[in-house]
Amino acid sequence: MQTRSNEARGLAALLLFSLLGALSAGTVSADDQPAEEAYRAGSEALRSKSYTDAVTELERAAELRPEHVDTWLKLGVSRSALGDWDGAIAAYRRLIEIDPGHAKAHHNLGNVHFRRGDLDNAAVEYGKALELDPDYMLAAFHHGWMLRQLGRSEEAEQSFRRCLELPADDPQAMRTRVDCLFGLGAIRHRAADYESSAQMMEQVLSVHRGHPEARYYLGMAYRQLGRVEEAEQQLEIHRRMLSARREQPSSPGGPAER
Protein backbone atom coordinates (compact mmCIF):
# COMPACT_ATOMS: atom_id res chain seq x y z
CA MET A 1 0.00 0.00 0.00
CA GLN A 2 2.82 2.38 0.83
CA THR A 3 4.37 1.77 -2.59
CA ARG A 4 1.07 2.51 -4.35
CA SER A 5 0.65 5.67 -2.29
CA ASN A 6 4.09 6.86 -3.28
CA GLU A 7 3.39 6.04 -6.92
CA ALA A 8 0.12 7.97 -6.76
CA ARG A 9 1.86 11.01 -5.29
CA GLY A 10 4.57 10.73 -7.94
CA LEU A 11 1.98 10.56 -10.73
CA ALA A 12 0.11 13.56 -9.30
CA ALA A 13 3.34 15.55 -9.15
CA LEU A 14 4.18 14.58 -12.72
CA LEU A 15 0.74 15.67 -13.96
CA LEU A 16 1.05 18.97 -12.10
CA PHE A 17 4.53 19.54 -13.58
CA SER A 18 3.20 18.76 -17.06
CA LEU A 19 0.30 21.18 -16.58
CA LEU A 20 2.63 23.95 -15.43
CA GLY A 21 4.88 23.29 -18.40
CA ALA A 22 1.95 23.47 -20.77
CA LEU A 23 0.79 26.74 -19.28
CA SER A 24 4.30 28.15 -19.51
CA ALA A 25 4.69 27.01 -23.09
CA GLY A 26 1.39 28.67 -23.92
CA THR A 27 2.38 32.04 -22.51
CA VAL A 28 2.72 33.52 -26.01
CA SER A 29 -0.61 32.95 -27.73
CA ALA A 30 -1.20 33.20 -31.45
CA ASP A 31 -2.65 36.67 -30.89
CA ASP A 32 0.51 37.73 -29.05
CA GLN A 33 2.91 36.34 -31.65
CA PRO A 34 3.30 39.57 -33.71
CA ALA A 35 3.96 41.54 -30.50
CA GLU A 36 6.50 38.95 -29.32
CA GLU A 37 8.29 39.03 -32.67
CA ALA A 38 8.48 42.83 -32.57
CA TYR A 39 9.70 42.72 -28.98
CA ARG A 40 12.44 40.23 -29.82
CA ALA A 41 13.51 42.23 -32.87
CA GLY A 42 13.61 45.40 -30.77
CA SER A 43 15.58 43.65 -28.04
CA GLU A 44 18.13 42.39 -30.53
CA ALA A 45 18.46 45.85 -32.10
CA LEU A 46 19.01 47.31 -28.62
CA ARG A 47 21.72 44.75 -27.86
CA SER A 48 23.48 45.64 -31.11
CA LYS A 49 23.08 49.39 -30.33
CA SER A 50 20.88 49.97 -33.39
CA TYR A 51 18.72 52.32 -31.33
CA THR A 52 16.55 53.72 -34.12
CA ASP A 53 15.55 50.21 -35.20
CA ALA A 54 15.03 49.27 -31.57
CA VAL A 55 12.61 52.15 -31.05
CA THR A 56 10.67 51.27 -34.21
CA GLU A 57 10.23 47.62 -33.23
CA LEU A 58 9.55 48.25 -29.55
CA GLU A 59 6.97 50.94 -30.31
CA ARG A 60 5.18 48.42 -32.53
CA ALA A 61 5.39 45.83 -29.75
CA ALA A 62 3.97 48.33 -27.25
CA GLU A 63 1.02 49.09 -29.52
CA LEU A 64 0.25 45.40 -29.90
CA ARG A 65 0.85 44.47 -26.24
CA PRO A 66 0.49 47.69 -24.19
CA GLU A 67 0.76 46.03 -20.75
CA HIS A 68 4.11 44.30 -21.36
CA VAL A 69 6.53 45.76 -18.80
CA ASP A 70 9.85 44.81 -20.43
CA THR A 71 8.80 46.40 -23.72
CA TRP A 72 8.37 49.77 -22.05
CA LEU A 73 11.64 49.38 -20.13
CA LYS A 74 13.64 48.66 -23.28
CA LEU A 75 11.80 51.37 -25.19
CA GLY A 76 12.82 53.87 -22.51
CA VAL A 77 16.46 52.77 -22.74
CA SER A 78 16.42 53.00 -26.55
CA ARG A 79 14.83 56.44 -26.63
CA SER A 80 17.26 57.66 -23.99
CA ALA A 81 20.20 56.39 -26.06
CA LEU A 82 18.94 58.55 -28.95
CA GLY A 83 18.67 61.62 -26.70
CA ASP A 84 14.87 61.58 -26.89
CA TRP A 85 14.41 62.60 -23.27
CA ASP A 86 10.66 63.30 -23.49
CA GLY A 87 10.07 59.96 -25.19
CA ALA A 88 12.16 58.11 -22.62
CA ILE A 89 10.32 59.78 -19.74
CA ALA A 90 6.97 58.86 -21.31
CA ALA A 91 8.05 55.22 -21.64
CA TYR A 92 9.25 54.96 -18.05
CA ARG A 93 6.15 56.69 -16.70
CA ARG A 94 3.93 54.31 -18.66
CA LEU A 95 5.90 51.39 -17.18
CA ILE A 96 5.39 52.78 -13.67
CA GLU A 97 1.64 53.07 -14.33
CA ILE A 98 1.60 49.36 -15.18
CA ASP A 99 3.98 48.32 -12.38
CA PRO A 100 4.28 50.97 -9.61
CA GLY A 101 6.84 48.83 -7.78
CA HIS A 102 9.36 48.74 -10.63
CA ALA A 103 12.54 50.13 -9.03
CA LYS A 104 14.60 50.08 -12.22
CA ALA A 105 12.03 52.27 -14.01
CA HIS A 106 12.42 54.93 -11.31
CA HIS A 107 16.21 54.59 -11.42
CA ASN A 108 16.33 55.00 -15.21
CA LEU A 109 13.88 57.89 -15.02
CA GLY A 110 16.33 59.53 -12.61
CA ASN A 111 19.07 59.05 -15.20
CA VAL A 112 17.03 60.86 -17.85
CA HIS A 113 16.29 63.76 -15.50
CA PHE A 114 20.01 64.00 -14.75
CA ARG A 115 20.89 64.13 -18.44
CA ARG A 116 18.37 66.95 -18.88
CA GLY A 117 20.04 68.85 -16.05
CA ASP A 118 17.10 68.37 -13.67
CA LEU A 119 19.06 67.24 -10.62
CA ASP A 120 16.20 67.70 -8.15
CA ASN A 121 13.88 65.30 -9.96
CA ALA A 122 16.79 62.94 -10.58
CA ALA A 123 17.39 62.73 -6.83
CA VAL A 124 13.68 62.14 -6.23
CA GLU A 125 13.52 59.23 -8.67
CA TYR A 126 16.68 57.60 -7.32
CA GLY A 127 15.19 57.92 -3.85
CA LYS A 128 11.99 56.22 -5.00
CA ALA A 129 14.03 53.37 -6.51
CA LEU A 130 15.73 52.89 -3.14
CA GLU A 131 12.43 52.94 -1.27
CA LEU A 132 11.21 50.11 -3.51
CA ASP A 133 14.49 48.20 -3.40
CA PRO A 134 16.78 49.15 -0.48
CA ASP A 135 19.48 46.79 -1.85
CA TYR A 136 19.69 48.59 -5.21
CA MET A 137 23.38 49.52 -5.05
CA LEU A 138 23.56 51.54 -8.26
CA ALA A 139 20.55 53.60 -7.19
CA ALA A 140 22.21 54.25 -3.82
CA PHE A 141 25.33 55.52 -5.57
CA HIS A 142 23.44 57.72 -8.02
CA HIS A 143 21.22 59.03 -5.23
CA GLY A 144 24.29 60.00 -3.23
CA TRP A 145 25.91 61.54 -6.29
CA MET A 146 22.86 63.73 -7.05
CA LEU A 147 22.48 64.80 -3.43
CA ARG A 148 26.16 65.73 -3.31
CA GLN A 149 25.74 67.82 -6.46
CA LEU A 150 22.78 69.56 -4.81
CA GLY A 151 24.85 70.38 -1.70
CA ARG A 152 22.85 68.02 0.51
CA SER A 153 25.95 66.44 2.00
CA GLU A 154 24.44 64.71 5.03
CA GLU A 155 21.82 62.92 2.92
CA ALA A 156 24.45 62.09 0.31
CA GLU A 157 26.65 60.56 3.00
CA GLN A 158 23.76 58.37 4.15
CA SER A 159 23.25 57.07 0.60
CA PHE A 160 26.94 56.35 0.11
CA ARG A 161 27.13 54.55 3.44
CA ARG A 162 24.07 52.49 2.54
CA CYS A 163 25.80 51.58 -0.72
CA LEU A 164 28.91 50.43 1.14
CA GLU A 165 26.85 48.17 3.41
CA LEU A 166 25.56 46.15 0.44
CA PRO A 167 27.34 43.03 -0.82
CA ALA A 168 29.51 43.47 -3.91
CA ASP A 169 29.31 40.04 -5.48
CA ASP A 170 30.07 40.86 -9.12
CA PRO A 171 32.48 43.17 -11.01
CA GLN A 172 29.86 45.86 -11.62
CA ALA A 173 28.92 45.96 -7.94
CA MET A 174 32.59 46.18 -6.99
CA ARG A 175 33.05 49.19 -9.30
CA THR A 176 29.97 50.82 -7.81
CA ARG A 177 31.31 50.21 -4.31
CA VAL A 178 34.55 52.01 -5.25
CA ASP A 179 32.51 54.93 -6.63
CA CYS A 180 30.54 55.14 -3.38
CA LEU A 181 33.75 55.03 -1.34
CA PHE A 182 35.17 57.89 -3.40
CA GLY A 183 31.97 59.93 -2.97
CA LEU A 184 32.01 59.40 0.77
CA GLY A 185 35.70 60.30 0.96
CA ALA A 186 35.06 63.53 -0.93
CA ILE A 187 32.29 64.47 1.50
CA ARG A 188 34.50 63.74 4.52
CA HIS A 189 37.20 65.93 2.98
CA ARG A 190 34.77 68.82 2.60
CA ALA A 191 33.80 68.28 6.26
CA ALA A 192 37.51 68.69 7.16
CA ASP A 193 37.74 65.07 8.29
CA TYR A 194 41.03 64.65 6.48
CA GLU A 195 42.09 61.46 8.25
CA SER A 196 38.96 59.59 7.16
CA SER A 197 39.11 61.11 3.69
CA ALA A 198 42.72 60.00 3.23
CA GLN A 199 41.92 56.47 4.38
CA MET A 200 39.01 56.21 1.96
CA MET A 201 41.00 57.57 -0.98
CA GLU A 202 43.80 55.11 -0.18
CA GLN A 203 41.24 52.29 -0.37
CA VAL A 204 39.92 53.60 -3.69
CA LEU A 205 43.43 53.71 -5.13
CA SER A 206 44.23 50.23 -3.87
CA VAL A 207 41.53 49.01 -6.28
CA HIS A 208 41.64 51.69 -8.98
CA ARG A 209 45.13 53.16 -9.24
CA GLY A 210 44.17 55.24 -12.26
CA HIS A 211 41.57 57.35 -10.41
CA PRO A 212 42.85 60.94 -10.82
CA GLU A 213 40.25 62.56 -8.57
CA ALA A 214 41.12 60.16 -5.76
CA ARG A 215 44.80 61.12 -6.22
CA TYR A 216 43.87 64.79 -5.91
CA TYR A 217 41.81 64.35 -2.75
CA LEU A 218 44.46 62.12 -1.22
CA GLY A 219 47.15 64.70 -1.95
CA MET A 220 45.08 67.51 -0.47
CA ALA A 221 44.24 65.42 2.61
CA TYR A 222 47.92 64.57 3.13
CA ARG A 223 48.74 68.27 2.87
CA GLN A 224 46.21 69.12 5.57
CA LEU A 225 47.63 66.34 7.75
CA GLY A 226 51.16 67.74 7.42
CA ARG A 227 52.38 64.91 5.21
CA VAL A 228 53.83 67.39 2.73
CA GLU A 229 56.18 65.14 0.75
CA GLU A 230 53.51 62.48 0.23
CA ALA A 231 51.05 65.21 -0.70
CA GLU A 232 53.31 66.55 -3.44
CA GLN A 233 53.85 63.05 -4.80
CA GLN A 234 50.12 62.42 -5.11
CA LEU A 235 49.41 65.83 -6.63
CA GLU A 236 52.17 65.34 -9.19
CA ILE A 237 50.66 61.99 -10.20
CA HIS A 238 47.30 63.76 -10.45
CA ARG A 239 48.74 66.42 -12.76
CA ARG A 240 50.24 63.75 -15.02
CA MET A 241 46.94 61.89 -15.16
CA LEU A 242 45.07 65.04 -16.18
CA SER A 243 47.62 65.75 -18.88
CA ALA A 244 47.23 62.22 -20.25
CA ARG A 245 43.44 62.48 -20.07
CA ARG A 246 43.43 65.70 -22.15
CA GLU A 247 45.24 63.81 -24.91
CA GLN A 248 42.54 61.14 -25.06
CA PRO A 249 39.25 61.55 -26.99
CA SER A 250 36.36 62.41 -24.69
CA SER A 251 33.36 60.19 -24.22
CA PRO A 252 29.91 60.98 -22.80
CA GLY A 253 29.47 60.30 -19.09
CA GLY A 254 26.70 60.20 -16.59
CA PRO A 255 24.61 57.54 -14.89
CA ALA A 256 24.04 54.31 -16.78
CA GLU A 257 20.70 52.68 -17.48
CA ARG A 258 21.26 49.17 -16.25
Give which of 232, 225, 257 is closest to 122, Cα–Cα: 257
Convert the pLDDT of each residue in 211-221 to its tens digit. Answer: 999 999 999 99
| Residues sharing a CB contact under 8 Å with residue 120, sequence separation 6 or more, in sequence order | 150
Convert the pLDDT of each residue in 139-195 to its tens digit. Answer: 999 999 999 999 999 999 999 999 999 999 999 999 999 999 999 999 999 999 999
- Rounded CA-CA distance 249/252 in Å is 10
pLDDT of 26 reads: 41
Ordered by where they begin, the domains of the chain are 34-100 (1.25.40.10)
pLDDT of 36 reads: 95
Cβ 112 vs Cβ 254: under 8 Å: no
| Residues sharing a CB contact under 8 Å with residue 129, sequence separation 6 or more, in sequence order | 103, 104, 106, 107, 110, 136, 139, 143
In DSSP notation, 161-205 reads: HHHHHS---SHHHHHHHHHHHHHHHHHHHHTT-HHHHHHHHHHHH
Low-confidence ranges of the chain (pLDDT < 50): 1-26, 250-253
pLDDT of 138 reads: 97
Cβ 141 vs Cβ 160: under 8 Å: yes
